[in-house]
Amino acid sequence: MVTANNMLVLMLVGASGFFDAKERKIPNKITFTGIIVGVIINLVTGGRTGLLLSIGGMLAGLAIFFIPFVMGGMGAGDVKLMGAIGALMGWQFSLLTALYSALVGGTMVIVYLLYTGKLRDYFKKIILSFIQLLFHFLNQLGNSEKIEHLPKRFVKNGQEYKKIYIPYGVAIAGGTILVLIASNQGFHIF
């Protein structure tokens, strides 16, 4: 079912995904406008209850990606975009969008790694990180110098891995579209 909020959220994520893919940044003009429009529309259509649902959705959307943002895993624009989605669609939609966006984002990373031929290196990095963590844990238990030097056999000194950047605004747009399709087909988790 096509509603005003559905159309607005599609316009919001479409513009955000476009700018993120092109400029690697989601402009505040888009996200703040989405938040303001979401709050106003929900206030007008739902009164006080609509206002509270919109603000709750915005806060939930912001909270979902706050920790990944603080840890450097995503940009502030992605966090604000989820806040705008929450303001327009509510907290439940935000949660579903975050889940679907993670699936879309993971798929984007795998496709990128396959395309660039770096999939093997990425899995190697994951395994090596696990080995380092395991040896660190064993060292803490036994505090043995032999255990402390074992990771050097497995990890090349000075080898650095570059962080993989994907325009997560595109993943959020894909996640949003998938949630709308699922909702339209009658699939509701909440």
Q: Where are the domains of the chain?
A: 4-114+167-184, 116-154
Q: What is the mean pLDDT of residues 105-121?
A: 85
Q: Report residue 3's pLDDT band, with 50, 70 and 90 as the boundaries.
A: confident
Residues 6 or more apart whose CB falls under 8 angstroms from that of 82 comprise 61, 62, 64, 65, 94, 97, 98, 172
CB contact at 8 A, 56 and 91: yes
Q: What's the token pair of residue 38?
A: 């979401």
Task: Give the residue carrying structure tokens 């699936």.
Answer: 103
Q: What is the residue type of 124?
A: K
In the chain, what percentage of residues exceed pLDDT 90? 61
Average pLDDT, rounded, for the chain:
86
**Residue 154 exposed, middle or buried by CB count within 10 Å (0-12, 13-18, 19+):** exposed
Which pair of tokens denotes residue 119? 């999939």
pLDDT in tens, 164-190: 788 999 999 999 999 999 988 888 665
Where is mean pLDDT largest: 3-7, 45-49, 125-129? 45-49
> How far is Cα 62 from Cα 77, in angstroms, rounded to an integer?
10
- pLDDT(88) > 90: yes
Contact 139, 148 (CB under 8 A): yes
